[in-house]
Amino acid sequence: MALERRRLVVGNWKMNASLTANTALLQQLAQADLTGASCDVAVCVPFPYLSQVQLALTETTLTWGAQDVSAFDKGAYTGQVSASMLKDFHCTWVLVGHSERRQYQHESHDEIAQKLVQALKLGIRPILCLGETQSQYEQGKTLSTIEHQLESLLAVDPSLRSNVVIAYEPVWAIGTGLTATPEQAQAVHEFIRRKVGDNLILYGGSVKPQNASTLFNMPDIDGALVGGASLSANDFLGIIHASHME
């Protein structure tokens, strides 16, 4: 398969980490032989561990990022973390609009758009997470939901849009063990592709070493956003290696 876009596999640790657990995981990732890997690899970690991750991965080919960023530059926003703070820790990436934040923090469309703008202004590449809920899926509203969520991109200067990575994560597949079939995922990716062109489009939702290669074989799936399986070095490396096998 001729693929010009280089694949990307991103771990999303969510709120699972500790100094001790991270040390072991990062050591295994840093020591893994990724020479010749046919994908880029990154981890998005909780804010307090950015310094630890930076220290552990600086001399490797892996990159890192955060799981959220403030919609504001700076000021009286207790508890928030700005894009310039992420830049201080050399973040390459930041997740924006993850479904868990849309659901629990009630992140609005405008807020998500502003977060994209803030990240890009500092040269941090946002990974814009999209996806329909189970009930939207059951009502046949997958594509209209995605189309609406993609409108956040309109806030972004067109010259910067190619730096945005899209992650399609059906909410019903996150952490549930249910995955969209490769064909189902491909159909949505193709829809997104028609809207965004050559941007990287990752799939997320219960990606495991066992299902990764069939997903990666789909023409519009450019990699994965991996939650649970990114907490185990073996599983995460298994997914990375699956990207070589075709």
Catalytic positions, written as ranges: 98, 169
Rounded distance between C-alpha atoms, residue 180 and residue 215, angstroms? 9
Residue 14 · residue 100 · CB < 8 Å: yes
Count of residues near ligand PGA by CB under 6 A: 13
Q: Return the ∠ at Cα 198 (arms to 210 and 121), rounded to 5°.
A: 105
Nearer to ligand PGA, 31 or 107 (CB): 107
Determine, following the binding rule CB under 6 A, whether residue 68 of this chain makes contact with ligand PGA.
Answer: no
Residue 242 · residue 212 · CB < 8 Å: yes
Determine, following the binding rule CB under 6 A, whether residue 223 of this chain makes contact with ligand PGA.
Answer: no
Piece in contact with ligand PGA (CB under 6 A), picked from 46-54, 112-120, 155-163, 199-207? 199-207
Helices (H), the chain: 19-31, 50-57, 83-88, 99-104, 109-121, 134-138, 142-150, 182-196, 209-216, 233-242
Determine, following the binding rule CB under 6 A, whether residue 65 of this chain makes contact with ligand PGA.
Answer: no
Nearer to ligand PGA, 182 or 227 (CB): 227
Query: Could you say which residues in the range 131-170 bind ligand PGA, by CB under 6 A?
Result: 169
Chain residues in the site for ligand PGA (CB under 6 A): 12, 169, 174-175, 204-207, 225-229
